[in-house]
Amino acid sequence: MTLDHPVPIKDLKSDVKPIWCPGCGDYGVMHAVLKAISELQLDPAHIVIASGIGCSGRFPAFVKTYGFHGIHGRALPLATGVKIANPNLTVLAVSGDGDGLSIGAGHLPHAARRNVDITYLVLDNAVYGLTKGQPSPTSAWGMKTKASPYGTVEHPLNPVAMMLACGTTFVARGFSARPQELAEIVKQGILHPGFAFIEIISPCVTFLDTYAFYKQRVVSIPENHDRTDRMAALALAFETEKIHLGIFYQDPDSHPHHTTLSEMRQKISGSYSLQALLERFRR
Amino acid sequence: MPINDIVIRVAGESGEGIVTIGEVFVRIAAFSGLEVYTFRTFPAEILGGHVIFQARIADRPVLSQGDDINVLVSLNQEGYDTHVSELEAGGIVIYDDAVVTPRDSDRHLLYPIPVSQIANSLNFPRGSNLVMVGAMVQLMGLPFERAEQVVRRRLGRYAEMLPKNLEALAAGYRYAQERFPSHPPAYLVPPEQIAEEKLVLTGYQAIALGALAAGCRFFAGYPITPATDLMEFMASELPKAGGTVVQAEDEIAAINMVIGASFAGLPSMTATSGPGLSLMIEAIGLASMAEIPIVVVDVQRAGPATGMPTKTAQGDLYMAFYAGADEAPRFVIAPSSVEDCFYQTINAFNMAELYQMPVIILSDQALAPRVETCTFFNLENIRLWKRQLAELKPGQPFERYKITHSGVSPITIPGTPGGQYVAEGLEHNEQGHPDYSPEMHRLMTKKRWNKVNAARHHVFGLENAVEEWGDQDAAIGILGWGSSLGPVKEAMVRAQAAGYRVAALFPKILFPMPDVRIRRFIRGRRILIIPELNSLGQFARVIEHRYTRQLVQDSISVISLNKYDGLPFRPVEIFEEIKRVSALLTRRTWPR
Ligand SMILES: Cc1ncc(C[n+]2csc(CCOP(=O)(O)OP(=O)(O)O)c2C)c(N)n1
Ligand code: SF4
Ligand SMILES: [Mg+2]
């Protein structure tokens, strides 16, 4: 649902003061998302933001859309239920890297298989922020924390490559410190009719300050990248020298889950009557 | 020899068509105007493994699967050998004499039917099941026209096979007629006129139909025996009503989808069994905390971990009542028959929607697949309770979790302008903003429990919230829950005929507990028998705990009757307990 005018970003913020530490990447992400909502002239009463648990999971409380702050790792199934129940809603889901890629990782391939029309933002700080600094599925190998005093012995995931391999119809990466570019990616993700997975690098200044690291390495995806080419996207995702930002892949023929469902219903329904159904059981 | 109250057991290997024979035969009986009640076991493996399909058929309402078997139908030697000991003396064996050799032939009446041979002679080897059904129809005294009608209706989908199937049915019927011109001593006499309007359906179908009647439009589930049938039925019917069924990636996803869909405005449901319910517990806490209406069906099965997927139990009562982090109010409902499944599911949706709470329905492995005849559901008398929508006032912030007398706060549905809020799983204030202050947690905890108390006063006005019967002044009371109601009722008929005095009460809505009704029921009794299919006596412990003072002051003893062998109660087991307990009471030493 769009309005005939944009809602200014300041009017999209709720009265709840964010609990995030000063300098946390999540502020940048929030600004970019609100900018995208404003510029797309979306009606906040028709937006639902579902989230899991983590610093990132607090996101819905700070914006004036509908929101659902659920349990750890379940933002995607929650958002899936919302979208199926009312396809007219714009549905976003927000997770951290622990929420989305560890406890909730089992839902990722299935959201991709369904191609449910959700924009999924994974705020990746490569650490567990809310629980105070444990390693996460994207932490670098050997990272020392209180929970891994001798260094982690697990290798980090590559979320973009993983989601490309799952058949996701829209895969992108953004950076909280580049809010203009991020807002554009989020906009494209919302407009994409299907499952849009966006990994957002969003550093945790308190437990793992990676701003300097990323600022040296991030580059925008080259102009000449063909974003309808999944294999080319995978090659970019696996590049190690540079960390690419932008839209890796978008399926131009994406057919969203709710459309498939309504086509199926149209094929079978005709006129429904419970009384007629009961008659099938009359002796 | 019983006439018009017969227990027939069909036994053999799964895959031999035991269930087809049983299901077609009971429908023929039901369509002939008789009442039916089935019990079936499931093979441990998909291919092969021993199964039984049992049907009790009578000319009056059937309350349980019965005790003895009157007729044994066996299609292989193992089926015969395993079950013949349960066949009453003088009982009837109907069998394929090409593969079964009855050993104990003096004790029983033998009706050999060479079903495979007959089917082969029709050039239709797969028709042997219908040959058997035809023979059973004839021997048990059912009308052939009804049998034909049922076969047409049930197997009509395979139109090209229909003439062959009907031929097999007729051949079996004719063979039995010629070979055994007179009736066996046990048989059925269908009524002249089929009086009342009846439905013939299973427990899970009744739950699904209740859900549809209550306006359920979203279902998500993950396959698990014995709840899968419910999902499959919904998958076929819900889309026709404009709804959606999702087979989720796991139970956690299923219940979170259900919560999301309900948040977005649709009455929503999931169904599972004990192992799946364990996985859903955290999310049930979320529905309780965020105050989102959902209905969760638990078709209980036996054993922890994977346990015995194909066996029955009533062991999930504690989990349904209490499981989860800290305290999460929820409602629990236990239907006691197929018909009750329909109406209690409507109660479940009504309570979920009105009080914005998770509701757990406790069915079980015996009740869900059971076929029963029941009075035709009257859709016109159904009253639906809806969630109360907030009246939004411009300029005033919407308080999603407003403290009210009943604890129920009016809600908005996403898409409503100005109604934006965050459904919050953290402790929160009236606006739904996170708030961990001691006062707020106390206030909100109370608010959530107030809904249980409001419901307690409200729902026990419903005429089907409890069922109470028997001798009001009896010293012995039976207090039970769920699907053991039928066997208890039947045992009480026998007990009363034998001069024992017993009263019984079954709450259908277990949480909130109908305190007033239970207190009144136990007043003046000396012994309460609490039969349950679990080893701890979970309901008995709840009753003891909740009514300690009254039980102690009035010297009322609680006796748990626990059965935990994976099988439902037989009426005789309850009857024996009534006799045993009555004898205890006559002892001088029993407390007065
Ligand atoms: C079932 C469950 N397990 C564990 C937790 C504790 N917990 C809360 S947030 C979190 C991880 C947060 O990390 P991440 O998802 O990366 O979010 P961030 O705080 O970094 O934004 C954990 C383990 C919980 N709330 N629930
Ligand atoms: S702990 Fe880290 S992730 Fe959490 S708010 Fe602070 S900076 Fe952000
Ligand atoms: Mg994190």
For residues B366 and B230, the answer to whether their CB atoms sit within 8 Å is no
How many CA atoms does the CB half-sphere of B267 hold within 13 Å? 28
Mutate to test the pocket of ligand 1, among A29, A72, A138, A210 (most ligand atoms within 8 A of CB): A72
CA distances in angstroms from B520 to A27, B473, B504, listed in the order given = 61, 12, 12
**B509-511 vs B331-333, strand pairing mode:** antiparallel
> Which residues approach ligand 2 with their CB closer than 6 A?
A 20-21, 24, 26, 55, 125, 129, 204-207
What is the predicted pLDDT for the residue at B13? 80
What residues of B are in contact with residue A107 (Cβ under 8 Å)? 249, 253
What is the predicted pLDDT for the residue at B47? 54
Nearest listed ligand to the Cα of residue A23: 2
Instruction: Supply the DSSP symbol for A21.
Output: P
- Cα separation, B212 vs B307, in Å, equals 31
User: A256-279: per-residue pLDDT in tens?
Assistant: 999 999 999 999 867 889 999 999
Residue listed under structure tokens 């905390």: B289
Q: Which of B528, B544, B524, B526 is nearest to B592 (CA)?
A: B526
| Phi-psi sector, A170: left (phi>0), alpha (psi -120 to 50), beta | beta
What residues of B are in contact with residue A93 (Cβ under 8 Å)? none
Instruction: Supply the DSSP symbol for B198.
Output: E
C-alpha torsion angle, residues B38, B43, B47, B48 (rounded to 10): -100
For residue A158, how far is its CA from the centre of ligand 1 (angstroms)?
Answer: 20
The CATH fold assigned to B466-586 is Rossmann fold (3.40.50)
C-alpha torsion angle, residues A58, A64, A68, A69 (rounded to 10): 10
Nearest CA in chain A to B421: A66
Mutate to test the pocket of ligand 1, among A24, A53, A97, A120 (most ligand atoms within 8 A of CB): A53
pTM listed for this prediction = 0.96
CA distances in angstroms from A207 to A112, A132, A145, B366, B406, listed in the order given = 31, 7, 9, 55, 45
Preceding omega of B226 cis (within 30 degrees of 0): yes
- Cα separation, A82 vs A116, in Å, equals 11
3-state secondary structure of B9: strand
What residues of B are in contact with residue A281 (Cβ under 8 Å)? 199-201, 205
For residues B298 and B305, the answer to whether their CB atoms sit within 8 Å is no
Q: Taking CB atoms and an 8 Å limit, are B379 and A277 in contact across chains?
A: no
Instruction: Supply the DSSP symbol for B560.
Output: E
- Cα separation, B55 vs B28, in Å, equals 12
Nearest CA in chain B to A93: B260
Residues of B (183-212) whose Cβ lies below 8 Å from A = 194, 197-201, 205, 209, 212
**Residue from B37, B251, B422 whose CB has the most chain A CBs within 10 Å, to mutate:** B422
- Cα separation, B172 vs A183, in Å, equals 75
Residues of B (231-290) whose Cβ lies below 8 Å from A = 237, 239-242, 244, 246, 248-250, 252-254, 256-266, 268, 282-283, 285-286, 290
Q: Which amino acid is located at A147 in the chain?
A: A
For residues B592 and B557, the answer to whether their CB atoms sit within 8 Å is no
Q: Which is more confident, B41 or A192?
A: A192
SS (H, E, C) A144-190: CCCCCCCCCCCCCCCHHHHHHHCCCCEEEEEECCCHHHHHHHHHHHH
The answer, for B61 touching chain A at a CB cutoff of 8 Å, is: no
Gap from A194 CA to chain B (nearest CA, Å): 17
Q: Which amino acid is located at B259 in the chain?
A: I
E strands of B305-391, at which residues?
Answer: 331-333, 358-364, 371-375
Residue listed under structure tokens 């107030």: B450
Residues of B (434-493) whose Cβ lies below 8 Å from A = 434
Residues of chain B with CATH 3.40.920.10: 5-179
Both tokens of A261, joined, read: 């469902």
Residues of chain B with CATH 3.40.50.920: 466-586
Nearest CA in chain A to B429: A16
DSSP string over B205-243: HHHHHHHHHTT--EEEE---TTTHHHHHHHHHHGGGGT-
- Cα separation, B403 vs B444, in Å, equals 8
Q: Which architecture does CATH list for B5-179?
A: 3-Layer(aba) Sandwich (3.40)
- Cα separation, A206 vs A132, in Å, equals 9
Handedness of CA B230, B233, B235, B238 (dihedral sign): negative
Q: Phi and psi (nearest 5°) for B38? A: -110, 160
Percent helix / strand / coil, chain B, rounded to 5: 40, 20, 40
- Cα separation, A214 vs A146, in Å, equals 23
**A119-124 vs A90-96, strand pairing mode:** parallel
> Which residues approach ligand 1 with their CB closer than 6 A?
A 53-56, 72, 96-99, 123, 125, 127-131, 136
What is the predicted pLDDT for the residue at B48? 58
Q: Taking CB atoms and an 8 Å limit, are A81 and B261 in contact across chains?
A: yes
Nearest listed ligand to the Cα of residue A22: 2
Q: Taking CB atoms and an 8 Å limit, are A277 and B237 in contact across chains?
A: yes
Residue nearest to atom 8 of ligand 2 (CA): A24
**Residue from A68, A95, A110, A268 whose CB has the most chain B CBs within 10 Å, to mutate:** A68
Both tokens of B49, joined, read: 């493994």
Q: Taking CB atoms and an 8 Å limit, are B200 and A85 in contact across chains?
A: no
- Cα separation, A65 vs A54, in Å, equals 19
What is the predicted pLDDT for the residue at B156? 67
Q: Which atom of ligand 2 is nearest to the CA of A56?
A: 3
What is the predicted pLDDT for the residue at A271? 80
pLDDT along chain B (592 residues), means of 10: 86 80 93 90 66 91 89 92 91 94 87 95 93 96 94 79 93 96 88 82 97 98 94 96 97 98 98 98 98 98 93 97 98 98 98 98 95 93 96 93 98 97 98 97 98 92 93 97 96 96 97 94 97 98 97 96 96 97 84 65
For residues A18 and A62, the answer to whether their CB atoms sit within 8 Å is yes
Q: Which of A93, A122, A81 is nearest to A190 (CA)?
A: A93
What is the predicted pLDDT for the residue at B40? 84
3-state secondary structure of B586: helix
What residues of B are in contact with residue A50 (Cβ under 8 Å)? 260
Environment class of residue B198 by beta-carbon count within 10 Å: exposed (0-12), middle (13-18) or buried (19+)? buried
Q: Taking CB atoms and an 8 Å limit, are B433 and A44 in contact across chains?
A: no
For residues B252 and A74, the answer to whether their CB atoms sit within 8 Å is yes
3-state secondary structure of B262: helix
Domains and CATH numbers, chain A: 9-279 (3.40.50.970)
Both tokens of B218, joined, read: 């979203």
Both tokens of A29, joined, read: 């992400």
Cβ atoms within 10 A of the Cβ of A214, count?
17
- Cα separation, A12 vs A67, in Å, equals 13
Tell me what the mean pLDDT of segment A52-69 comes to.
98
Residues of B (535-554) whose Cβ lies below 8 Å from A = none
Q: How many residues does chain B have?
A: 592
Residues of chain B with CATH 3.40.50.970: 201-375
DSSP string over B100-122: ---SSTTTSEEEE--HHHHHHHT
Superfamily of B201-375 according to CATH:
Thiamin diphosphate (ThDP)-binding fold, Pyr/PP domains (3.40.50.970)
Q: Give the max Cα distance, chain A.
A: 76
Handedness of CA B78, B79, B80, B81 (dihedral sign): positive
Environment class of residue B281 by beta-carbon count within 10 Å: exposed (0-12), middle (13-18) or buried (19+)? buried
For residues B204 and B299, the answer to whether their CB atoms sit within 8 Å is yes
Among A44, A71, A272, the residue with its CB nearest the CB of B241 is A272
- Cα separation, A11 vs B31, in Å, equals 66
For residues B312 and B283, the answer to whether their CB atoms sit within 8 Å is no
